A and B are shown apart, each in its own frame.
Chain A
Amino acid sequence: MAGVPRTWVRLPPPPPCFYMRSITHILALLVVLFLAALPAQAQPAGTVTFSFDGNVAQVPRFGSRIELMPVLQLIGAQAGYSQAAGTYVIQLGNHQIQITPQVRFALVDGELEKTNDAAVVSPGGIAVSESYLDRVILSPFAYHLERSGAGYRIAPGAMVAPVVTVRAAAADFGTTTTLVLTLSRHVAVTVTAGAGRELLVHFSDARPQLDGSLPMRSRRIVAIRAAANTLKIELAPGQGLLASHQLTGPDRVIVEVGRRPPTPVPTPVARARKPKRPTIVIDPGHGGADSGAVSASGLEEKVVSLAVATRLATLLKRDGYVVRLTRAGDETRALTDRTALANRLDAVAFISLHANASTVSSVRGAETYYMSLHDATDAHAAETARKENAAGAPGRRGGSQLDLILWDMAQARVLNRSALLALDIQRQLNSFLDLPDRGVKQAPFVVLTGATMPAVLVEMGFLSNPAEAGQLADPAYRQRLAEALARGIEEFLRSSS
């Protein structure tokens, strides 16, 4: 019987002749058994003393955890259980926390938060660890746990600064870049120039957490990192802080970045001189420890993608393009590093090559994808911009409302051109493979996120389909595939130049 506490009273086994007696005796035994179990639960093995605002409660332990309900009662929180959702709803003041036993997530004021451990079902309803109580339950209510003798004191003030989610978006203009940091709530911030090429955005009494959902498209901002109460923004060489201001409704920090006139930083010669011939970055998918899909005969996606990429590079170089591969051999490369290389080289196109797999072996065909514009967070950003325009929110700078729109437009322009590149490549693949046109599709691919140039992902065929796996293993087929891809890329570049 799972769930019965260890203090369950065990009666000695009855003698065999017992069963021969009347059913009344058996019923009596069951009642005794049942009643014996009840008080056993009301007195768990150990308790922990909790004090809050002069009141004290003895809170029962449940294994390594403590019962939550008496603690909530002590601080005056309301709690309820939604049977439909299997969730406990805890309310105090304006804050609401929803927790589900056995789940390492909690909804804190409507935001999903990861937790280090899970709450569990207990005799008192639900039990949590001390750290869970402190971080997940008490912190949103601006309380924290303090050791007090053998027990705890619940004291005011959140131990860890509450999180503020930051969504970063950047737009490059002629000589400046506008960085828009959208905050999930109002927090006072100060923006200062840090050491070297770093900008520091300091949050008072809040821990910034980067949303990372919007692609960063900037040549002047290299990276953004969150560290404790600060957001560190790494700038490209020669760039500095020009201005910053904070806006409300929605809460945003606008940071202007550009070349600082008084202290010109010498830029490397290589960066100043742009390559005369356009650069194309080809990304052989997967590599190193990540083999990708594998055919029944053992042919690996990483091998196929590199083989076709190498042939494609040779063809494009022959036609006068500068070509760089994101990996030259069987190496592991982070997905974000691949697009970053293309951004750094100011490439005119980014092509990620892959071979597909399905659990159904009859599935076959090639397909070209490009980045999705209409994902939930982009829609959210657009909605924010619309809302601000409708409300006519006062911006200290007239351009602030325009920034988001311009950023949206810049993003839309890159996506439109990605769609054209995808269409040109798919058209060539269709005629080469003689397959019915499936059109091109959009989705948020990790490797395409953040690309500042037309970027596509090509699935060249299914390794799970025996016929296509055979073709993808054939050097002559790989060559013809590379030729079709080169025709598509060059057609796009010719028509767009």
Chain B
Amino acid sequence: MIRRVLLIVAVLVALAAIAFWALRPGGFARKTTASLTPVPAPTPTPAPETRVMLLFPGTDGALHPELRTVPLPAELNQRVRVIVSQLLAGPTARLLPVAGYPARLLDVFIDGRGNAYVDLSSPPQPLTGSFNELMLAYSIVDSVLLNCQELKGVQLLFDDHEVQTLTGHLDLSRPLALNKSFIAAQ
């Protein structure tokens, strides 16, 4: 009996905690001050299943396409997040991972000039070799730009910071454009 009551108490406390967190102004139902006119937030639409082309590095130093059918939101920022998350999840075929370390997607920004900023967690130890740098950058840049035609460039950020370069070779201080020279000839 005591155990049962304790269990019910535990469940109720958990529910109350969730309700409290959700209803507080900073919770997931975060609202702006009532008297302010809210800028309409993008309405969530069910993402349709879409075929996307993801580019993964091969041992030949080229990027190889892998086709995947994923729910792809119409909203650009969300679409970039899906593409990058799919890339970071790794290839299914006999291709190489995009990053030489377990990189996490921290954030995505889109500016008014058609550039996406992909914020990744930085490598735990400094990476070396232009191969690692080129493959990481152009897997993401080319995959995002091929699947999001309205974008012109992609810049990689690491831990919210702009970097000049990751391994001392590629210029990462500005958005990179689509680079077809790394995509494997079919």
Contact = CB atoms under 8 A, between A and B. Distances in A.
Which of A70, A83, A374, A444 counts the most chain B CB atoms within 10 A? A444
A77 B35 CA distance: 11
A213 B174 contact: yes
Contact of B176 (A364, A367, A376): A376
A446 B175 contact: no
Interface stretch (A110-118, A140-148, A399-407): A110-118
A346 B152 CA distance: 35
A61 to B, nearest CB: 15
A463 B107 CA distance: 33
A286 interface: yes
Contact of B160 (A105, A109, A290, A301): A105
Interface stretch (B37-45, B64-72, B82-90): B37-45
B12 A27 contact: yes
B30 A81 contact: yes
Contacts, number: 235
Contact of B32 (A80, A294, A440, A447): A80
A33 interface: yes
Contact of A376 (B117, B130, B175): B175
B124 interface: no
Contacts of A26: 8-9, 12
A114 B131 contact: no
A462 B131 contact: yes
Interface stretch (A122-130, A219-227, A306-314): A122-130
Given A20-B5, A213-B174, A81 B20 contact: no
A19 B5 contact: yes
Given A85-B77, A123-B25, A442-B181, A34 B129 contact: no
B100 A70 contact: no
Given A105-B117, A441-B182, A212 B173 contact: yes
Given A121-B26, A376-B175, A84 B77 contact: yes
A376 B111 CA distance: 13
A359 B100 contact: yes
B111 A360 contact: no
A292 B174 CA distance: 23
A171 interface: no
B9 to A, nearest CB: 6
B162 A110 contact: no
Interface stretch (A200-208, A248-256, A350-358): A350-358
B93 interface: no
B33 interface: yes
Nearest to A293: B128
B26 A438 contact: no
A363 interface: yes
B182 to A, nearest CB: 6
Contacts of A104: 160-161
B107 A449 contact: no
Q: Is the interface of B mostly helix, strand, loop or mixed?
A: loop
Category for how many chain B residues contact A: 35 or more
A244 interface: no
Given A84-B77, A442-B179, A34 B36 contact: no
A326 interface: no
Contacts of B35: 73
B141 to A, nearest CB: 9
Contacts of B5: 19-20, 23
A81 B41 contact: yes
Given A3-B21, A445-B171, A459 B78 contact: no
A80 B160 contact: no
A279 interface: no
A459 B107 contact: no
B169 A357 contact: no
Contact of A84 (B41, B101, B164): B41
B128 A19 contact: no
A190 interface: no
Given A80-B38, A104-B160, A356-B130, A446 B171 contact: yes
A78 interface: yes
B132 interface: yes
Contact of A445 (B19, B75, B113, B169): B169
A302 to B, nearest CB: 10
A476 interface: no
B30 A367 contact: no
Interface string B104-144: 00010101110101010000000011111010001000000
Which of A33, A359, A362 counts the most chain B CB atoms within 10 A? A359
A464 B25 CA distance: 52
Nearest to B36: A79
Interface string B12-37: 11001101110011101011110111
A103 to B, nearest CB: 6
Given A124-B26, A125-B31, A444-B170, A20 B78 contact: no
20 contacts: A19-B5, A27-B12, A37-B20, A41-B24, A79-B36, A82-B41, A85-B42, A110-B112, A111-B111, A114-B162, A121-B30, A123-B24, A293-B129, A363-B61, A372-B177, A374-B178, A379-B152, A438-B62, A442-B181, A446-B169
Given A26-B12, A110-B111, A457-B130, 8 more contacts: A30-B16, A81-B31, A82-B42, A86-B107, A123-B25, A377-B174, A442-B179, A443-B138
Query: Sorted from nearest, which 4 A-B pairs have the closest CB atoms?
Result: A110-B112, A357-B129, A80-B39, A376-B153
Interface of A: 1, 3, 19-20, 23, 26-27, 30, 33-34, 37, 41, 69-70, 72-73, 77-86, 88-89, 91, 98, 100, 103-105, 107, 109-112, 114, 118, 121-125, 211-213, 285-286, 290, 292-294, 301, 335, 354, 356-360, 362-365, 367, 369, 372, 374-380, 438-447, 449, 457, 459, 462-464
Interface of B: 2, 5-6, 8-9, 12-13, 16-17, 19-21, 24-26, 28, 30-33, 35-42, 44, 59-62, 73, 75, 77-78, 96-97, 100-101, 107, 109, 111-113, 115, 117, 119, 128-132, 134, 138, 152-153, 157, 160-162, 164-165, 168-171, 173-179, 181-182
